[in-house]
Amino acid sequence: MRDAAEELTRAEVLVACHDETVSSSEALTGAGFDRPDEVLLRHLLFVDADRREPVLARCGMDGYVEAPALPSDPSAPAGRIAVAVARLQRVDARTLSQERAIIGSMTARLGGESGGWAVLAAPDSGSA
C-alpha cells in the first residue's frame, strides 16, 4: 500500500496552479497531464494560525495528510499562515474540480482561502 506522507518527502511537481480562476481542465491540459495512476493531489490553504489544527483535522477525515511547503508556493497573505495537505488519488479534470470545490468550501467555512493546488508524483513510485 502506498503512503502519501512518505511519498511527499521525495515527490516532484507534475502540474501546479495558484490561480483559482483557471479551470482544472485548462491547467491539466496545458501541462500535458493525462495519467491513469494514483498521484499526490496537494492543496495549499491560507488560514488564521488558530485555524491550522481544525483545518488539518477536517482534511484528515478525507484522507489528507499535512504536506511540506514547495518552492513555488506563494506567500501567505498578511495575518495568515500557509497549510498544505495532500493525498493519493487518481486525478482528472472532473475529480480535481470536485476536490478543489470540497477543499475550498471547507476552507472558507473555517475562515480561510485557497492558495492553489499541485499534482505530484514520487520519482520511483512506479508511476512516473
For the chain, the structural domain boundaries read 4-121
- The rounded distance, in Å, linking the Cα atoms of 80 and 110 is 12
Instruction: Tell me what pLDDT residue 125 has.
Output: 53
The answer to whether the CB of 67 falls within 8 A of the CB of 85 is: yes
pLDDT tens track, the chain, 128 positions: 677 767 777 889 999 999 999 999 999 999 999 999 999 999 999 999 999 999 999 999 999 999 999 888 999 999 999 999 999 999 999 999 999 999 999 999 999 999 999 999 976 654 44
- CATH fold of the domain at 4-121: Alpha-Beta Plaits (3.30.70)
Query: pTM for this structure?
Result: 0.90
Residue 13, judged by CB atoms within 10 A of its CB (0-12, 13-18, 19+), counts as middle
Instruction: Tell me what pLDDT residue 6 has.
Output: 76
Instruction: Compute CA 11 distance to the chain's CA centroid, rounded to the nearest angstrom.
Output: 13
